[in-house]
Structure 1
Amino acid sequence: MRWTGWTVAYVLGLAALALAGAWVWWQSEPEARGTDTNALWARHQWVGEPHTDAEYRALGTLLRDNRISDVFFHAGPFEPDGTVPASKYRYARQLIAAVRQYAPGVRAQAYLGQVRTVEGKGIIDLDDPAVRDQVLRTDATFLDLGFDGIHYDFEPIYPDDRAFLDLMERTRGLTRSRGRLLSVALEQPALVDAAQPVYKALIPRQGAVHYPPRPTEDFLKAVADRADQVAIMTYDVSLPSRALAGWHFARHTRRTLELIGDRTTVFMGVPTYRPRMGWAEDLGVALRGVRRGIGDLERPPSRPYGVGVYADWTTDAAEWVRYRAIWLPPATPVLGR
């Protein structure tokens, strides 16, 4: 019993030291600023429902004011056979025309995905070549409508998923032949690749997900080599202090940019939804953490990078003000004014 007591005290002491260290680290203001290459996940209603000219104009103003370079307009999800009913995106052409008019230069991408079949659970079976063929035909339909790219969000994707890599390879061929983009959303990588077997052994299966679908370093590089843009879903942190949540964003930002920042454009996902009770994650913590991660780099990556805001339907005016204050670099003055 005495040894048990000492062990518990030792573990608690280490935890207290870690929390104290994280708190001290978090206090200094990051020097690195944000960028003008940023993404936004946008709700399905933009392609599925009619909007007034005033609403389109307001959208354009929001995108320009917040220096959003890419918008992932939800246009799916895929049906099990890889199709998307035309009724789901009946107003896509009007949306694209409005973005070009009111936010010229902003890329409107078709955000498409579905729950990936794993061990017989899920909706879309990407292992089926016929399904992948149909997904590509559906992608072509959206490019024909005028979208500037295809944004995939299939979940879960595990680091042994060859079918997904095949789909990425073939989609890249399609988008590049049209002069368009291919982007993809991925889960945050495991901080240590060796932890993957531990996750698989210890974390119980929930539905189709039998352990967290964390990309390994090699898989993340393989995806980056097939994509023009990679958005890391860094949110859903579930940590109890702002310092620990900030460390999470900083650590993933630095590691991701070191791994693939010279291969593809990277967006680090930041949340604007309200954190669950007891957790410290919010937009301000995420943005500051990303800036700390950028500041820790030995050199900036050669490709553009920024944040991906999740999502337009959870971001109010006050949060956009915070985003601009914490993240955006000073505006470049216009000569002659």
Structure 2
Amino acid sequence: MTIRRTIRHVLRWAMIVLAVALALGLIAAGALRLQFAGSPAAWARTTGHDALWMGHAWVDGRKTAADVDALAVRLRQSGIRDVYVHSGPFDADGALPADKYPNAANFLKWWREKLPGVRVSAWLGQVVDGGVQGGLDLADPATRTRIVAGAKALSDLGFDGVHYDFEPVPDGDRPFLDVLTGTRQAIGSKLLSVATQQIEPLPGMRFPLRLIVGHDKYWTPGYFRQVADLTDQVAIMTYDSWTPLPSLYGGHVVRQAKLAMGLVPEDKTILIGAPAYHDHLVGLSDFAESVEAAADGARLALTDEGPRSNLGLALYVDFAATEEDWKEYETAWVRPG
């Protein structure tokens, strides 16, 4: 009897936990759907502060001047002001050998001839795992010194700025802030940009999700603000949201954009990451997430909280973007009907 009572007791509590989790999930879904309600204002659209992540082929010799010419035709009709060109990744000790970007000087020359008004930042990053499985240990001062030195070398080569993408960075991580501070000192007034994790949608959501995935998926608003204060741009990676429907992903984007507008000073740029790729970690995300949904969410957030001239979309990523992705960017954001 004692064993049976124990089993019943465990099952009862398991059912309660499951019911609570289901209820919270339904409440969250309902809240996201409500965020995505309404119609965006006609003025809520690109203001020419958009961005594009670009792959490594541009600096390793695979791309040519002709490729720059072709891309320039597309970008001249867009709102893209910044591109982040993958020039790493850092080695496990934070070093960035020059042989990782052998064609960077030529690329910059071609780019300036065709698109002088579009800034080019070196996209740099690496997995952050404390050095456990070959990733970076940002807590190591020597590693941080090498990271900053690598960023400065690319700045000196002629890049307009540095765009960091370290993942995952724990909420409240001080060494990451030290990297940003050191990089600012090294590159001076050049653009300092960072790809950020998503902002905790509601207080208390960060911790349970951390238990599930093993690392921080969300940053608290306070830490996000600290990062924003040390940079010129924050690009929120709103994709891989684990939302199963376009309306819920759109609501997620609205929430992220509104939170960011309340945290980032007016003189800094907010970029909403738009998923121009189709190999999401979670299968349903390929259905739920799109450039169009991200654009619609950003427009709704601007309608409610704006106008704000320095909020844009950042398309991820050039080598995976389809013609449909570019069409959605054009019709839902650049020239919405």
Do Structure 1 and Structure 2 share a fold, with TM-score over 0.5? yes
Structure-2 change in CA distance of 1:228 and 1:8 (3 Å): closer
CA distance in 2, matches of 1:33, 1:264: 18
**2: CA distance, partners of 1:165 / 1:19:** 33
Q: CA deviation at 1:151?
A: 0.6
In 2, Cα distance between the equivalents of 1:111 and 1:14?
Answer: 38
* Residue 87 (structure 2) pairs with residue 75 (structure 1): yes
**1:196-224 residue CA offsets vs partner (Å, 9 max, x unmatched):** 33334x415xxxxx232421111111111
Q: In structure 2, what is the equivalent of residue 203 of structure 1?
A: 212
| Secondary structure, aligned partner of 1:320 | helix
Q: 1:267 aligns with which of 256, 266, 271?
A: 271
User: Partners of 1:182 and 1:95 in 2: how far apart?
Assistant: 20
Separation in structure 1 between the aligned mates of residue 152 and residue 222 of structure 2, nearest angstrom: 29
Matched, 1:215 2:219: yes
* Residue of structure 2 equivalent to 1:308: 314
The match for 1:235 is: 239
Match of 1:46 in 2: 58
Q: Say which is worse superposed, 9-18 or 74-83, in terms of deviation.
A: 9-18
User: 1:224-245 CA deviation, whole Å, 9 max, x = no partner?
Assistant: 1110111110111222222111
Quick one: which amino acid aligns to residue 204 of structure 2?
A
Instruction: From the superposition, tell whether residues 326 and 85 of structure 1 become closer, same or farther in structure 2 (CA, over 3 Å).
Output: same
In 1: Cα distance, 2:208 partner to 2:65 partner = 53
Which consecutive residues of structure 2, in runs of 5 or more, have no partner in the other structure?
Answer: 1-7
Conserved 8 A contact 1:78-1:114: yes
Query: In the TM superposition, what is the alpha-carbon distance from 1:118 to its structure 2 partner?
Result: 3.5
Q: Which residue of 1 aligns with 2:166?
A: 154
Distance in 1 (alpha carbons) for counterparts of 2:91 and 2:271 = 27
Which residue matches 1:191?
201
Task: Between 68-77 and 57-66, report the one with greater CA deviation.
Answer: 57-66
Amino acid at match of 1:246: G
Cα shift at 1:312: 0.4
Are 1:323 and 2:333 an aligned pair?
no
Instruction: State which of 220, 224, 229 in structure 2 corresponds to 1:225.
Output: 229
**CA separation of 1:152 and 1:19: change in aligned 2, threshold 3 A:** closer
Please give the per-residue CA displacement for 1:9-49, whole angstroms capped at 9, x wherever unaligned. Answer: 99989977886786677464322223210110000000012
Measure the CA separation in 2 of the matches of 1:162 and 1:24: 36
1:75 aligned partner, one-letter code? S
RMSD between aligned residues: 2.9
Q: CA 1:296/1:55 → structure 2, altered by over 3 Å: closer, same or farther?
A: same
Partner of 2:177: 165
The answer to whether the 8 A contact 1:35-1:329 is kept is no
- Decide whether aligned partners of structure 1 residues 26 and 214 sit closer, same or farther in structure 2, where only a CA change above 3 A counts: closer
Q: Secondary structure at the match of 1:29?
A: coil
SS across alignment from 1:61: helix
Q: Across the two proteins, how many residue pairs are aligned to each other?
A: 319
**Match status 1:124 vs 2:133:** no
> Higher mean Cα deviation, 59-68 or 309-318?
59-68
Of 147, 168, 191, 1:135 maps to: 147
For 1:296, the equivalent position in structure 2 comes to 304
Q: Which runs of 5+ in 1 are unaligned?
A: 205-209, 331-337
Q: Which moved more, 1:191-200 or 1:303-312?
A: 191-200
2:105 corresponds to 1:105: no
Which TM-score applies when normalising by structure 1? 0.85
Residues 35, 327 of structure 1: 8 Å contact kept: no
1:292–1:146 Cα change, 3 Å: same
1:180 matched to 2:186? The reply is: no
1:81/1:131 contact within 8 Å kept: yes
Give the TM-score normalised by structure 2: 0.85
Once residues 9 and 26 of structure 1 are traced to their aligned partners in structure 2, the CA distance between those partners, rounded to angstroms, is: 26
Deviations 1:136-175 (A, max 9, x none): 1111210121000011111111122111111111111122
